[in-house]
Amino acid sequence: MSAAQEWDSWKTPPPKDVKPAPKAGEKAPVNENLTLPSDKPTLIVFLRHCGCPFAEKTFKQLTNISAIYKGDLNCVAVSHSSQEATERWVIQVGGNWDVTMVVDHERELYAQWGLGISNTWHVLSPASLYKVFQLGKSEHIWNRPTESGSRWQVSGAFTVDRDSSVRWAQVAASADDMPKFEEAILSVGLDPKRLRVGDGELKKLRAGADGIRREGLSG
């Protein structure tokens, strides 16, 4: 990772034709690079750049969910960092378990799902900066080097049911606004209480989840 790469993450990325974010009850956007199964609901998480502590916290939560609800829920994470940077980051943060990782380096999927570019307050508000420190102090999740991606890209999360209808949507209001996963789980008819498993039980569940599944977008 070079200083130039770190600096590039602060540059405003090229504009995209950002569509309105789909709301609950609407059909999910269709894209051949994001396949949604018809046998179970899907939880889709659009991440901030690889290296962001909020992206890391969100992704770790998603991997836990993929183990807890294995067989009942399809979990997808979308990264706008490069394929190589994303793969290195996934290994650094502990693996993707039963989460399918989709690389959308050109941010086409982000734009299609209503996730555009943020402003200075979104990224650098005192509240967000304080929560970076808080997350590092309480959970030892700190900023990692940013090889690829934009700090200005808005993140978000959605659930989609078996017939491709959106059931729940959350577009991040700030960099530290992470998905409310209990709401997401409840929206597709699953029991959110299962999220509260102990560490020992979670390790057993994760022991049955392995392998890396990736989809790259040429965009």
Q: Where are the domains of the chain?
A: 37-216
* Range with the poorest average pLDDT among 35-44, 93-102, 139-148, 199-208: 199-208
- Residue by residue, DSSP assigns 12-50 as PPPP--PPPPPPTTSBPPP-TTS---SSS-EEEEE---T
Instruction: Yes or no: say if 44 and 112 are a contact pair by the CB < 8 Å rule.
Output: no
Tens of pLDDT, residue by residue over 68-88, are: 999 999 999 999 999 999 999
- Asked if the model's pLDDT at residue 219 lies above 50, the reply is no
Burial of 20 (0-12, 13-18, 19+ CB in 10 A): exposed
Overall CATH class of domain 37-216: alpha beta
Four-residue CA torsion sign, 72, 105, 8, 13: negative
Phi and psi of 168, rounded to 5°?
-160, 145
For tokens 């706008």, the residue is 80
Q: pTM of the entire structure?
A: 0.87
The reported pLDDT for the residue numbered 180 is 97
Q: Tell me how far apart the alpha carbons of residues 182 and 186 are, in angstroms, rounded to a whole number.
A: 6
Q: Tell me how far apart the alpha carbons of residues 165 and 162 are, in angstroms, rounded to a whole number.
A: 7
